[in-house]
Amino acid sequence: MFATTITMKPPYSFERLLQRMLTHPDEQLQIDASAGIIRRALRLDGQPVLVVFRFCGSVEEPVLQIETEAALTQRQQDELIRVSRHMYSVDVDLEPVYRRMRESAELRPLTEKFRGLRLLHDPDLFQSMVRTIIGQQLNLAFAATLTHRLIRQVGDVIVDQQGREFLVFPTPEAVASLEVEQMRAWQFSQRKAEYIIDFARAVVSGDVDLDRLHELTDEDVIAYLSKLRGIGRWTVECLLMFGMGRPDLLPAADIGLRNGIQLVHGIVEKPDEQEIRRIGESWAPYRSYVSLYLWEAVGEAKREAAREKAESKPRRK
């Protein structure tokens, strides 16, 4: 067994993290909201390991407890701590972000309404890129369905003592071994299957070195990966934001960001990509986080509309 405790940089809102996760389904996670617990399986030095994350303390004094029943090597312990800090944005200082957002009358209310909200990052870059390719031009629900099918077919499964199953994302080698026809049977489009398999094979062959990306600037990462078929600027920007945790990405082509700017700024028509880049210039160097808070504003509006609709329905006697 291994257990450790990490003090998180305040403010940190587990409640806000859960709210965002409600609109971003991920079957790799099992959540006990009342206990402040997220359970998931990770690959540590190649070995699938079930990990329990417990969020304690408060928004202003947050603490993350991490434990696993597995016997970990020192290397695996170090990797678990590193990945955990990355996934939950433990060390991100939100105060400079909030100071920048408070300079805008439109953004200022979001710093209080969503105080402590942080990005939830993917645990590794291979998973992040494959999930992003799957999500290209698809709604969140169907993208989650396709991701689940891929994991079920070529990923791993861990079963805990209570008989609960935990899915482990497949390795590059497992995805590289697939054929397009197999993925077509799981309702992947021809092109999407080709792009995913091509990417996995490039990683396995060494043509794409994911570890090298951490040494590159944002623009260099975009140039490096955009040479691959099916991977454009938007896809790499998502990898930079959700996989690498880079703080100053502005995915101007994203429909959710367009909706967020329209909602918060009270614009009659949705802004185009050029207008988004113009508006977003003043958010630098924290455009990733301003984008997150705009997405959450849209998500909150949808949740409130759904609650109002449910409350307005007549009850059966």
Which domains are assigned to the chain?
Answer: 1-91 (3.30.310.20), 122-244 (1.10.340.30), 255-308 (no CATH)
For tokens 């701590």, what's the residue? Answer: 81
CB 244 within 8 A of CB 214: yes
Query: pLDDT at position 284, please?
Result: 96
CA pair distance 79, 63, nearest whole angstrom = 19
What's the CA gap between 30 and 280, in Å, rounded?
Answer: 35
Quote the pLDDT of residue 141.
Answer: 86
Question: What is the rounded radius of gyration, in angstroms, for the C-alpha atoms of the chain?
Answer: 20
Q: Do 2 and 67 contact (CB within 8 A), yes or no?
A: yes
What are the tens digits of pLDDT across the range 68-99?
Answer: 999 999 999 999 999 999 999 999 999 999 99
What does the CA dihedral 21, 26, 30, 34 come to, rounded to 10 degrees? Answer: 10
Q: Sign of torsion, CA 163 166 167 172? A: negative
Low-confidence ranges of the chain (pLDDT < 50): none
Is there a contact between 115 and 109 (Cβ–Cβ < 8 Å)? no
Predicted local confidence at residue 317, as pLDDT: 54
DSSP for residue 21: H
Helices (H) and strands (E) in the chain, counts: 14, 7
Instruction: List Cβ<8 Å contacts ≥24 apart for 251-257.
Output: 251/291, 252/276, 252/277, 252/280, 254/291, 256/294, 256/295, 256/298, 257/291, 257/294, 257/295
pLDDT for 189 equals 97
The whole-number pLDDT of residue 303 equals 84
Q: What is the pLDDT of residue 132?
A: 95
Long-range contacts of 290-293 (CB under 8 A, 24+ apart): 290/97, 290/100, 290/101, 290/107, 291/241, 291/249, 291/250, 291/251, 291/254, 291/257, 291/260, 292/117, 292/118, 292/119, 293/101, 293/107, 293/110, 293/111, 293/114, 293/117
Which residues of 195-285 form beta strands (DSSP E)? Answer: none
